[in-house]
Structure 1
């Protein structure tokens, strides 16, 4: 269940990055590097979820 919550949280961040950019907020969310880091985290957590669910 923890892996599912982590995956949902990361996907939510991935969706909100472009929306937060439109409001004029700047900071840690700005930049293409952070966007790719979130995508990489989604992939890692997704693989972990697949391995855990396959084992059960």
Structure 2
């Protein structure tokens, strides 16, 4: 299940396609990923790692 991020939350758009990321929860991980199916830009961690996403998407 993909969860949209609140528009007031400061997170950078995908550097590849410019789309705002979404959050997905798996059994043991939180993934911030681009919702565009052609784009494979994602950050996975035990916590929602917005800092790492923003580093990868300047």
The TM tier, using the shorter chain, reads under 0.3
Structure having greater relative contact order (Cα 8 Å, sep ≥ 6): 1
| Higher-Rg member (1/2) | 1
Query: Normalised by the size of structure 1, how large is the TM-score?
Result: 0.27
Report the structure, 1 or 2, having the larger strand content.
Answer: 2
Report the structure, 1 or 2, having the larger helix content.
Answer: 1
Query: Normalised by the size of structure 2, how large is the TM-score?
Result: 0.26
